[in-house]
Structure 1
Amino acid sequence: MSVSPFRAHWSLAPDIVYLNHGAYGACPTAVLQVQSELRAHLEASPMRFFVREYEGRLDEARTALASFLDADPEDLSFVSNATSGVNAVLRSLRFAPGDELLTTDHEYNASRNALDWVASRSGAQVVTAALPWPSPTPAAVVEAVLARVTPRTRLFLVDHITSQTALVLPLQELVQALRARGVETLVDGAHAPGQVPLSLRTLNAGYYTGNCHKWLCAPKGAAFLHVRKELQEDLKPLSVSHGHNSPRQDRSRFRLDFDWTGTADPTPALCVPHALRTLERMLPGGWPALMADNHAKALAARKLLCERLGVQPHCPDEMVGSMATVALPDGYPTPPPPPYYRDPLQDRLITEHHIEVPIIAWPQAPQRHLRLSAQLYNTHTEYQRLAEALEALLR
């Protein structure tokens, strides 16, 4: 089996075919080295670091990330992960009995749980739009969502790229259509930054939170929350700290609140600029070439698996990013209760064939989908090996 020369940039186990970058990402060794140096610098003089250096370093990281996302740095704050960003927004807003909180049936489980919990405490109702599946189209997705909007709809929670089905949703059209109806959108963009081109300035969603540890390949614990300026006043982080009553006038309350929520390891966020530069330099065309390469690889892998398993692709190419799902034949042993990543077929792929790839019960068992990821370190022969393993196991 051929090994990608890019794999040398990551410390992935050499005996594992890793086709699951979308789950937790993987951080290049060069970025981890910078993080180690930052941690050593911090621990050498914690007072110097946090009191005299931290704010300036954080501003530099924020500016670099804002440039990549085409956003105003003033509207951007770091959080630990996208789930924290979703919770910060949902738990800051106020809802009343009779209010409707709209989402889709493809929403990520953790974010859906947060939505359900907030609704249960306020008496609001969660309304679920069923997206067309299989064979969705961008227009059909927009139509399905707008059909569930009523005068009581207060917020729309949506994945930019769905976790279970890896669909790149028509976010620009959804945000614009919802705003025209007076409804703000909270985007769970956990997978999107670095997987698809993203301009937060153009999108103009009310709230957008995304991970930096997945496709941007920063260390775990780096994520962001972007809030449109006129909506920032009502937002608070999950931990309210010193910024709440700070007398400073040189910074917005939004940044004072979110930039310091208590002592924690800030090095994941501070490594974001280095992660952006590291990935940008891996291909001559930089980030656009990297995203295009991963997209083409994901499409080719999906085509290969569909042909070998005798199934049809479930969505058009335009709704695929650097991940893709493939339907699996029914009849394999029923998976245990959640977490879904302990599917028996997934366990056999890793234990017998040393292939790491998630199998997801969707829409519900025994229906199942495989979700593959495509990163620079993956090769076509790895997907061929996956196809051969699946043929053997499913027989």
Structure 2
Amino acid sequence: MEDLDVIFPEFGSKLRQKDFVLEDGYTFLNHGYKGAVPKPVIEAQQRFEDEARRQPTNTFMRKKQSNWIKSRDSVAEFLNADPDDVVLVPNVTSGINAIMMSIPLKSGDTIIVTNQAFVSTNNACAQLLYHKGITTRVVDIVPPIKDTNQVVKLYRDSLDSILNIRAVVIDYVSCPCAMMFPVAEIVQLCQKYNVVTIVDGAHAPGHIPLSLKETKADFFTGNFHKWLFAPWGCAFVWKNKRLTFPLRSLTSSAANADIASQFCMQGTRDDSCFYSLPAAIQYIRTKGGLEKISAYNTRLLEMASEYLVRLWQTSTLDIPTSMEPPFLRMVRLPEIYGFSTSQDDKNSLMDLIYHDHHIDVCLKSVNDQLYVRLSVHIYNCLDDYKKLGNAVLLLVDRGRRRDSRY
């Protein structure tokens, strides 16, 4: 860890103590769920909340849309996107639903998703089946994976064999297996079949450099509250200019039909999380930008995953390096007596690790084996992962002792 301390003296435990409000003794290793928010961003959000309490009507009626537009413009610049193509939404779930309901689908049309899709995407497709008679077909993408060509071929085979495909949902980084898909290649393939492409980039902003002006996808949606240091409830949808149909908000109290008004005027919703987005982006800049953050995180992730693989005598998920996200890694757990790979047992094990060791970490079941989905950020250090490693070994040893009694 010495090299990280020397090269990045401002990151790690010192930064955690200085800039974050994480509880002492609490080890936070699940930023892929919701990230920690730094103090400057918390303070920015608090200022907007305080102003709304001091002047409720003035803040809502006269300042709401200008604050929303300022925040949208800030993130559009960060994403290298035209502000007119970007709207702010609470999360990718909201974004996917707005996109799905905006595409002019008809009964008999088909949407392609994968088995790696987040549950909310499946739920949105189920609603389309119920209301419009839209069919969903699933492409199974299961490790081991040799190379990205294998993934692209699975999409190609589906596009060749399934009738009436209207839209394809592509995960940028999948939730169940933390795999980074070859998005550009898949989008290029889908264009040849004249289908609408929807990129679920829930894990992308603040994690992977984005330039939406250069993407060929039709829609892109991503969360800001995972890796971008934003408060919970911050995300965006981007729509490609070439699409002729409008992006529609699922709910709106706006009298105007323009897209900003439709997505901004959402009744009495508290938008202070949106208004703090410029502060979150500025925080990234003060830390050297994504390039410096990525340099620290990728190195720490390599050190942490190598350490745990050696300690547990296991392995990482069998996927090509090009499909490993910069800040996420799947490391197989050793067998722990009494815990299967069922959803209930997985959740119970996460609860046990938290209650006994005050560690929050994400566990996933892949091919009937349990994996920890390691995540890293600039407020983490190698000691966090050593603590996790030792906690798991204690559970393994406890299980062996119990097993020996029977």
TM-score, normalised via structure 1 length = 0.90
- In structure 1, what is the Cα distance between the partners aligned to 2:52 and 2:244? 31
SS in 1 for 2:169: strand
- In structure 2, what is the Cα distance between the partners aligned to 1:55 and 1:117? 31
- Alignment-derived partner of residue 105 in structure 2: 95
- Alignment-derived partner of residue 313 in structure 2: 310
Q: 1:357 aligns with which of 353, 357, 361?
A: 361
Q: 1:32 aligns with which of 29, 42, 60?
A: 42
The question of whether the paired residues in 2 share the 8 Å contact of 1:333 and 1:344 is answered with no
Matched, 1:175 2:177: no
The question of whether the paired residues in 2 share the 8 Å contact of 1:207 and 1:226 is answered with yes
- In structure 2, what is the Cα distance between the partners aligned to 1:12 and 1:262? 32
- In structure 2, what is the Cα distance between the partners aligned to 1:215 and 1:125? 33
The question of whether the paired residues in 2 share the 8 Å contact of 1:194 and 1:291 is answered with no
SS in 2 for 1:233: coil
Q: 1:20 aligns with which of 17, 30, 35?
A: 30
SS in 1 for 2:214: helix
SS in 2 for 1:195: coil
Mark the CA change 1:232 to 1:350 in structure 2 (over 3 Å): closer, same or farther: farther
User: How many equivalent residue pairs?
Assistant: 383
Counting only pairs closer than 5 Å after superposition, residues 68-147 of structure 1 correspond to structure 2 as 68-147=78-157
- In structure 1, what is the Cα distance between the partners aligned to 2:336 and 2:393? 14
Matched, 1:381 2:383: yes
- In structure 2, what is the Cα distance between the partners aligned to 1:75 and 1:222? 17
The question of whether the paired residues in 1 share the 8 Å contact of 2:335 and 2:396 is answered with no
Mark the CA change 1:337 to 1:383 in structure 2 (over 3 Å): closer, same or farther: closer
Deviation at 1:298? 1.8
Show structure 1 runs of 5+ residues with no match. Answer: 247-251
Say which is worse superposed, 375-384 or 88-97, in terms of deviation: 88-97
Show structure 2 runs of 5+ residues with no match. Answer: 6-11, 398-406
- Alignment-derived partner of residue 293 in structure 1: 296
- Alignment-derived partner of residue 249 in structure 1: none
- In structure 1, what is the Cα distance between the partners aligned to 2:310 and 2:172? 28
- In structure 2, what is the Cα distance between the partners aligned to 1:199 and 1:105? 27
- In structure 2, what is the Cα distance between the partners aligned to 1:306 and 1:227? 41
Structure 1 segments (4+ residues) deviating >6 Å: none
Cα displacement string for residues 244-263 of structure 1 (whole angstroms, at most 9, x for unaligned residues): xx2xxxxx722232121222
The question of whether the paired residues in 2 share the 8 Å contact of 1:166 and 1:325 is answered with yes
The question of whether the paired residues in 1 share the 8 Å contact of 2:313 and 2:334 is answered with no
- RMSD of aligned Cα (Å): 2.2
- In structure 2, what is the Cα distance between the partners aligned to 1:69 and 1:386? 34
Matched, 1:166 2:178: yes
- In structure 2, what is the Cα distance between the partners aligned to 1:6 and 1:291? 16
- Alignment-derived partner of residue 270 in structure 2: 265
The question of whether the paired residues in 1 share the 8 Å contact of 2:336 and 2:395 is answered with no
The question of whether the paired residues in 1 share the 8 Å contact of 2:27 and 2:360 is answered with yes
Cα displacement string for residues 102-132 of structure 1 (whole angstroms, at most 9, x for unaligned residues): 0111111122221223134322221111114
Residue type of the partner of 2:199? V
Mark the CA change 1:229 to 1:255 in structure 2 (over 3 Å): closer, same or farther: farther
The question of whether the paired residues in 2 share the 8 Å contact of 1:210 and 1:223 is answered with yes
- Alignment-derived partner of residue 218 in structure 1: 230
Deviation at 1:238? 1.5
What's the % identity of the aligned pairs? 30
Matched, 1:276 2:281: yes
TM-score, normalised via structure 2 length = 0.88
Mark the CA change 1:267 to 1:105 in structure 2 (over 3 Å): closer, same or farther: same
- In structure 2, what is the Cα distance between the partners aligned to 1:104 and 1:10? 36
- Alignment-derived partner of residue 229 in structure 1: 241
SS in 2 for 1:326: strand
SS in 1 for 2:125: helix
Deviation at 1:329? 3.9
Q: 1:62 aligns with which of 72, 76, 80?
A: 72
The question of whether the paired residues in 2 share the 8 Å contact of 1:132 and 1:144 is answered with no
- Alignment-derived partner of residue 349 in structure 2: 345
- In structure 2, what is the Cα distance between the partners aligned to 1:361 and 1:351? 21
Deviation at 1:338? 4.8
The question of whether the paired residues in 2 share the 8 Å contact of 1:18 and 1:357 is answered with yes
- Alignment-derived partner of residue 4 in structure 1: 13
